[in-house]
Amino acid sequence: MGNRSVATKATQYCGIDVSAASLAVAIICEGYPTEQRNFPNDTGGHKSLIAWLRKHKGHVRVSLEATGVYSFDLAVALNGASEVEVAVLNPKVANRFAQTIRRSKTDAADAEVLAEYSRRMPFQPWVAPNSNSIRLRSLVRYIESLSSQSAQNQNRLHAAQRSAVTPRCVIVDLKRAIASLESRIHSLRREAMMLVRQNELLYQRYLLLVSVPGIAQVSAIQLLAELCTLPSDLTVREWVAHSGLDPAHEMSGTSVKKASRISRAGNRHLRRALYMPALVASRCDPYLKAFFESLLARSKARLQALIAVARKLLHAVYGIFKSGNKYDGSKLFPSACSVG
């Protein structure tokens, strides 16, 4: 493997600012001026970047922000390169560090800030998920995009059918498009389930997920796809932060005190995957229903209470993955143990 845990005296410190089309790269070596280059954010660009890093004849520590699909392929490529160690940072962490040293906001400046992060801060190497997990996440996110298209077409069909001036050919075409999308979605979900069954750990975790009230096959595969690529050493608080369900507070002195909200700084796919299970569990699971109603009794808005249920569910999933035991709602909301 390319990653090494101990840096040598020849260590170079690299930062990469990732965008959809390009990579702004800065590299720092003690006693030399900072070097900067730009590369395309594609397979060819990744190979050119790795070749350029190797020309520096030393161990390279690279820091980049987690920016979803735009950074993931790059992280995988760097992880497999010899003499290269990569850290994938939570954007919130990188932004807090940048605020302490940044004087300007450009791609080149951001890359230099990330290089400084590699040099100054404790370095935690990123571990690439196994290939089955990577394929599952890619497949499930594609299914999610098709489901979104199907929902849009169903809304268009509903509107078209309510209008007396809509040509019949439009309605027929929309129905065909919806049927085609639903057939593709069904087929791809079967493929996703086959991937899960091929990997013992994924299948064990799938069975644990469907033991949770509100999580059936579709939701279980969606959640599994997003959670199976996370590092195994994350805490439950880090899971919550990764999901973007962590609370964000805005207070300043005595004059500014806004209502708390979720940060939304994390994985939107995971938040979406949790929404429907949280909605079902808040109605059907006695423990989470009691928790949901206790929040409403404290004058919380329904959406706030539902988000809190989603956060509880994420805690539950973390617990069952770590213990290997099926869901036990009494551990989530002990005061509801008498419910039922």
- The gap from C-alpha 155 to its chain's centroid, in whole angstroms, comes to 28
| Residue 338: predicted pLDDT | 52
Long-range contacts of 65-72 (CB under 8 A, 24+ apart): 65/17, 65/18, 65/89, 65/90, 65/91, 65/94, 65/114, 66/90, 66/91, 67/18, 67/19, 67/91, 69/141, 70/18, 70/19, 70/20, 70/41, 71/18
> Tokens 């996440």 belong to which residue?
137
Q: Residue 333 is encoded by which pair of tokens?
A: 């909301």
What pLDDT, in 10s, does the model give residues 149-181? 999 999 999 999 999 999 999 999 999 999 999
| CA neighbor of 78 nearest in space, from 153, 14, 167 | 14
pLDDT lower than 50: segments of the chain: 1-9, 249-258, 339-340
| Residue 97: predicted pLDDT | 87
- The gap from C-alpha 283 to its chain's centroid, in whole angstroms, comes to 27
Encoded amino acid at 98, one letter: A
| Residue 170: predicted pLDDT | 97
- The gap from C-alpha 2 to its chain's centroid, in whole angstroms, comes to 24
